[in-house]
Amino acid sequence: MRYLKWSTSHAVFVTEIDDEHKEIFEAVSNLQEVLSSRGPLLEIRKLTQCLIACTVEHFAHEERLMRAGRYGSLRWHKQQHNTARSRVGQFVLRIDQGDTQAGLALVEYLKSWLRDHTRLADRMMGAFLRNQQRVCKLTFRAGTKPMDACDWVNANGDRFNPLTSKPGF
Ligand SMILES: [Fe+2]
Ligand SMILES: [Fe+2]
């Protein structure tokens, strides 16, 4: 079984989100390693709890960011999180009941779900959040003066003229 490795193909280009994804990917791999080598049940439970805790916190973090930014696809994105939360809960129940296959089934489910979710839903959210940061910066730097009296800068801090620049600078 291959391990889940984070690469730039999973990047959403929002540092805090990418860092959390790396942590989750690593937690999945750690659990897979112990399960594959038939490690002690105590260790399996500990790593499962660790994986669940960082995943649950991560989902809540993304949902807070999307809510704060009034992200239009929040409902669709949150529905995907809800599906994963519910499936993971079912696997954890089986693990707690001593089902030896449930651990590896959980790992396989999360590997596939995370690959798909980070590359589409999270990447779309990342693009939205980055764009919002850029707009906020422009608004802040422009202040309330008339348009032609403002210093307009792009996300790199370079000056530009909003009347003559192409959309997207
Ligand atoms: Fe997400
Ligand atoms: Fe995510």
DSSP state of 150: S
Quote the pLDDT of residue 69. Answer: 86
Distance 9 CA to ligand 1 centre (A): 15
Calculate the dihedral angle through the C-alpha atoms of 59, 65, 69, 70, rounding to the nearest 10 degrees. Answer: 30
Quote the pLDDT of residue 14. Answer: 92
Contact between 103 and 35 (Cβ < 8 Å): yes
Q: Identify the nearest ligand to the CA of 125 by its number.
A: 1
pTM of the model: 0.79
DSSP state of 108: H
Classified by CATH at the fold level, domain 9-129 comes out as: Four Helix Bundle (Hemerythrin (Met), subunit A) (1.20.120)
Distance 90 CA to ligand 2 centre (A): 20
Distance 114 CA to ligand 2 centre (A): 8
19: enclosing H helix or E strand: helix 15-36
Over the chain (169 residues), what is each successive 10-residue block's mean pLDDT? Answer: 89 94 96 91 90 95 91 96 95 84 94 96 95 70 54 65 58
Quote the pLDDT of residue 24. Answer: 97
Distance 144 CA to ligand 1 centre (A): 35
- What ranges make up the beta strands (E) of 31-94? none
Instruction: Give domain limits for the chain.
Output: 9-129
- Residue 102's contacts (CB-CB under 8 Å, 6 or more residues apart) are 91, 94, 95
Quote the pLDDT of residue 103. Answer: 92
Q: Identify the nearest ligand to the CA of 66 by its number.
A: 1
Quote the pLDDT of residue 68. Answer: 87
Distance 124 CA to ligand 1 centre (A): 10
Name the 3-class secondary structure at 159.
strand
